[in-house]
Structure 1
Amino acid sequence: MKCKTCSETVIDGVDCGSCRGQFHFGCIGIVETAYRKMNMDRRAGIRCQKCRAGPDNSQDISTILEELRGFRAEFGAARSDIERISNSVDSLNAKWNEMESRFSSLEDRVIALESSAKVVSKLQSELATSSQTIHNLQNELHVRDQNARINNVEISGIPYKKGENLLMILDTIYKKVGVHLEANEVDSIHRVRRFVSRNTGQVDTNSEGDAAGERSVGSNATEPRPPAIIVKFTRRLCKDQLLAAVRARRGLTTTDIGTEGPARAIFISDHLTPANKLLLKRARERKAELQYAYLWTRDCKILMRKTDTSKIVAINNDSDLLKLK
Structure 2
Amino acid sequence: MSSGGLVWGCCGLPTADDYIQCKKCMKAFHLACLTSSSGSSDLVVPPWICPACTNQLPKGGNGDEIPVGFSPNVTTRPTKRQALESPPGSGPDLASKEDLRCVVQEVVQREIEGLAAKISGSLRLVLNSELKTVSAEIKDMKDSMNFMNTKFEEMLRDQNEAKVIIADLKAENASLTSTVKDLSARLNSIEQNARSKNVEIQCVPEKKNENVIEIVTKISKVINCNVSSENIASCTRIAKLNPGHPRPRSIVAQFSTIQTRDKFMAAVINYNKQRPLHDKLNSANLDIDGPKTPIYVVDHLSPANKALHAAARTAAKQKGYKHVWVRSGRIYMRKSDDSNFILVKDMDTIKNLV
TM-score, normalised via structure 2 length: 0.55
- Could you tell me the percent identity over the aligned residues? 27
Name the CA shift for 1:226/1:126 in 2 (closer, same or farther; >3 Å): same
In the other structure, the counterpart of 1:269 is 298
In the other structure, the counterpart of 1:70 is 148
Specify which of 238, 246, 256 is matched with residue 268 of structure 2: 246
Name the CA shift for 1:73/1:157 in 2 (closer, same or farther; >3 Å): same
**CA shift digits 1:59-83 (9 cap, x unpaired):** 963243121232255257x3xxxxx
Counterpart secondary structure, 1:163: coil
Matches of 1:234 and 1:271 in 2, distance apart?
15
Counterpart secondary structure, 2:249: coil
Provide the alpha-carbon RMSD of the alignment: 2.4
Matches of 1:313 and 1:265 in 2, distance apart?
28
Verify: 1:305 aligned to 2:305, yes or no. Answer: no
In the other structure, the counterpart of 2:57 is none
- Kindly provide the amino acid, as one letter, of the partner of residue 325 in structure 2: W
Name the CA shift for 1:291/1:114 in 2 (closer, same or farther; >3 Å): closer
- Kindly provide the amino acid, as one letter, of the partner of residue 198 in structure 2: N
Counterpart secondary structure, 2:252: strand
In the other structure, the counterpart of 2:199 is 153
Count the aligned residue pairs: 212
TM-score, normalised via structure 1 length: 0.60
Matches of 2:169 and 2:351 in 1, distance apart?
31
Shift of 1:263: 0.5
Specify which of 98, 110, 128 is matched with residue 174 of structure 2: 128
Counterpart secondary structure, 1:117: helix
1:43-122 paired onto structure 2 within 5 Å: 61-74=139-152, 78=155, 110-111=156-157, 113-122=159-168
Shift of 1:264: 0.8
Q: Comparing both chains, which one has the higher relative contact order based on Cα–Cα distances under 8 Å and sequence gaps of 6 or more?
A: 1
Unmatched segments (≥5 aa) in structure 2 = 1-136, 273-279
Specify which of 177, 181, 186 is matched with residue 232 of structure 2: 186
Shift of 1:123: 3.0
Specify which of 324, 341, 344 is matched with residue 315 of structure 1: 344
Counterpart secondary structure, 1:140: helix
Matches of 1:295 and 1:119 in 2, distance apart?
45
Range with greater deviation from structure 2 (170-179 or 277-286)? 277-286
- Kindly provide the amino acid, as one letter, of the partner of residue 248 in structure 1: N
Matches of 2:162 and 2:271 in 1, distance apart?
69
- Kindly provide the amino acid, as one letter, of the partner of residue 148 in structure 2: G
Matches of 2:243 and 2:178 in 1, distance apart?
30
- Kindly provide the amino acid, as one letter, of the partner of residue 323 in structure 1: N
Instruction: Note if contact 2:217-2:228 (Cα within 8 Å) is conserved in structure 1.
Output: no
- Runs of 4+ with deviation above 4 angstroms: 110-113
**CA shift digits 1:150-199 (9 cap, x unpaired):** 1100001111212111111111101111111133321111111114278x
Shift of 1:128: 2.1
Range with greater deviation from structure 2 (128-137 or 297-306)? 128-137
Counterpart secondary structure, 1:145: helix
Specify which of 123, 139, 149 is matched with residue 185 of structure 2: 139
- Kindly provide the amino acid, as one letter, of the partner of residue 152 in structure 2: E
Name the CA shift for 1:243/1:70 in 2 (closer, same or farther; >3 Å): same
- Kindly provide the amino acid, as one letter, of the partner of residue 349 in structure 2: D
Matches of 2:157 and 2:305 in 1, distance apart?
52
Matches of 1:143 and 1:260 in 2, distance apart?
39
